[in-house]
Amino acid sequence: MVEAFAVASGKGGTGKTTSTLALGMALAERYDVTVIDADTGMANLLFHAGLDDADVTLHDLLVADRDVPVEDAVYERFGMSVVPCGTSLAAFEAADPARLRDVVADLAADADVLLLDSPAALGSKSAVLPIVLADRAVVVLQPTVPSLSDGLKVQEYARSYGTETAGVLFNRVRPDEDVESIADQAARYFGGTALASVPESDAVRAARRAGEPLLAHAPDDPAADAFHEAAAKLDVRAGDAGAARVADRFRSAVVPDRP
């Protein structure tokens, strides 16, 4: 079995990467999880996971003339497999986003859950392909109407390629924000379920400075508890297709010809 989730949002600053790693660690208590930094243009997962000195990254796997084994870019961290992406502009320009299909297909052979940390915007093929590859999307929002609107654009695009919404995760919620009102609106427009409301936390910033995911750095923080709640509500669907068929599904995914 394997299910691929795109962790997506309509804009930057929602805490998407923090959410991806937190969900990954929580899900890894029950599943074999691989987290992929698919934000090839604005990667930062490597800093959150203490992998800023990684020798091989996703960029190396996406360059056509390099014969780099996929496993060279996989690092075992915090109970899960992590595939970081580099931050070099030259490497981004050399990368072929369509090759992400083969990378995901290879990684699916050894995972129950794939989490694709997706770009915030929908302005290029490299930005939208992770959403196209995913079975379902987790939409990370802040409890504001503009964030809701941006998230709906992501959902609409995802659905146009058959990717449904697994749930909505409200993140970086401040005490003075009316999350219940926004959540009621989200329930009317988004698919899936409301996974959790994660409070704004100083521990998140401290974790990044330490190069650790939140759940490793501050496992008892209220934000960590909320991410555990979200992972528990995320229903991972067991598939009965063999590994070869799963790989073929990823390799044959449509590469969008429009952003």
pLDDT digits (tens, 9 = 90+) for 62-93: 998 778 999 999 999 999 999 999 999 899 99
Can you give the pLDDT at residue 183? Answer: 87
pLDDT tens digit sequence for 159-179: 998 899 999 999 999 999 888
Can you give the pLDDT at residue 164? Answer: 95
Report how far apart, in Å, the C-alpha atoms of 111 and of each of 54, 56, 94 are: 21, 20, 28
Can you give the pLDDT at residue 242? Answer: 53
Cα dihedral sign, 47-124-98-105:
positive
Q: Which residues of the chain have pLDDT under 50?
A: none
Can you give the pLDDT at residue 218? Answer: 98
Can you give the pLDDT at residue 1? Answer: 65
Can you give the pLDDT at residue 115? Answer: 97
Can you give the pLDDT at residue 202? Answer: 97
Can you give the pLDDT at residue 121? Answer: 73
Can you give the pLDDT at residue 239? Answer: 59
Residue identified by tokens 């449509």 is 254
Q: Tell me if 110 sits within 8 A of 238, measured CB to CB.
A: no
Please, is 95 exposed, middle or buried when counting C-beta atoms within 10 Å of its C-beta (0-12, 13-18, 19+)? buried
Cα dihedral sign, 37-43-49-52:
positive
Can you give the pLDDT at residue 257? Answer: 66
Q: How many CB atoms lie within 10 A of CB 209?
A: 9
Q: Tell me if 163 sits within 8 A of 137, measured CB to CB.
A: yes
Task: Report the phi/psi class of residue 192: left, alpha or beta, with left for phi > 0 and alpha for psi in -120 to 50.
Answer: left
Angle (CA) 15-152-172 rounded to 5° is 25
Can you give the pLDDT at residue 245? Answer: 66
